[in-house]
Amino acid sequence: MSAKQPGKRNSFLSDRQSLKRTLAILLIVDIFLFLGFMLFQRTTRSANIIYEKESRYHYIRVVDENTIRKLMFTLSPGAEIQSAIDLDSPGRHVLEYSRMVFASLAFVQQPQHILVIGLGGGIIPSTFAEYFPSAQIDVVEIDSEIVEVAEDFFNFRPSARMSIIVADGRVYVRQAKYKGIKYDIIVLDAFNGSYIPSHLTTKEFLQEVFFIVKDGGCVVSNIHHGNKLYEYQQRTYSEVALQNYIFEGTSNAIVISSQQRNGLSRQKVKKKLFQLQNQFQFVFNLNSVGKMLIEKPTWDIEGDILTDDFSPVNILKSKQL
């Protein structure tokens, strides 16, 4: 019996050490849970829903988080931010993609006629109006509630040379085509939550859009590159446009497309953006936008494209890709 006592003592000591380790791990877990809870509480307090309403097309939410005001189109916790402003510095462009839109100025330095499809908070048309006061700017927004929200919460004030048209983007493009209206820059920024409405993604729609672009003009498209729809969009743009310049941000890509046979080199685009920043002294920095330009697109152009007869947007949405 006495020969077995040290073994029991060692086993007892080992059990005590194991218990101590377990308690230490539990304590660390508790600390992290507490810190996480405090961070959640802090975030919850700093994020304040100041407006929400269900319109015909969206569930609209306006949320203030510290000095940042955000526009969202869904109740989902992972809701995509459609537009955002810094209340202390409204001109600085909080969202990466909205800064990238102005890379279009490397292709059209003095736009006189601009079309924006999709208003959001109105940040993009407001910036064009600020720096190009003589330009005629037409903004097409399908949801009249969004127009009111932009005016009431995002300081959107249409200028004297800005027209707000409440209509479907594709219907308006077709009407402009019949009327012979043409634009220097067309911005496609219509989203329904995380996805572009399917009828605004197809080859036929893009062909109609290019029909109303002036010679030397460009089309600027805001698209997500974090889902499988991006592959279809790549092939569709390659099918329709002769030149495609891709600026890739964290989750969005801006595709600037034109029908110019002799396109600008990537280096020339970056140089023009540098010159434009010096000329206009934008609050946001066009030099940093130039760094987002992909030197050579790596698009896989083999496969299906988006057409009016084949547009898998709704299927992809249902799979949450």
pLDDT score for 2: 43
Torsion 113-168-143-284 (CA) sign: negative
At 27 the pLDDT is 56
Averaged over successive runs of 10 residues, the pLDDT of the chain (321 residues) comes to 48 55 56 48 62 93 95 70 91 92 97 98 96 98 96 94 97 98 98 83 97 98 85 92 94 94 92 96 92 80 86 58 46
Max Cα–Cα distance, the chain, nearest Å: 106
Residue carrying structure tokens 């609050």 = 283
Tell how far CA 301 is from the center of its chain: 23
Whole-structure pTM over 0.85, yes or no? Answer: no
Alpha-carbon gap, residue 271 to 16, rounded angstroms: 69
In angstroms, the first-to-last Cα distance of the chain is 67
* pLDDT at site 241: 96
The answer to whether the beta carbons of residues 247 and 256 sit under 8 Å apart is yes
pLDDT in the model for residue 262: 87
**Domain ranges, ordered by start, for the chain:** 2-45, 47-85, 90-319
Catalytic residue list: 189
**Could you say which of 3.40.50.150, 3.40.640.10, 2.160.10.10, 3.40.50.720 is the CATH number of the domain covering 90-319?**
3.40.50.150
Helix (H) or strand (E) holding 164: strand 162-166
Strand, helix or coil at 136?
strand
**pLDDT of res. 180:** 97
Q: What angle do CA 202, 205, 207 make, to 5 degrees?
A: 110
Give me the pLDDT at residue 3, please. Answer: 46
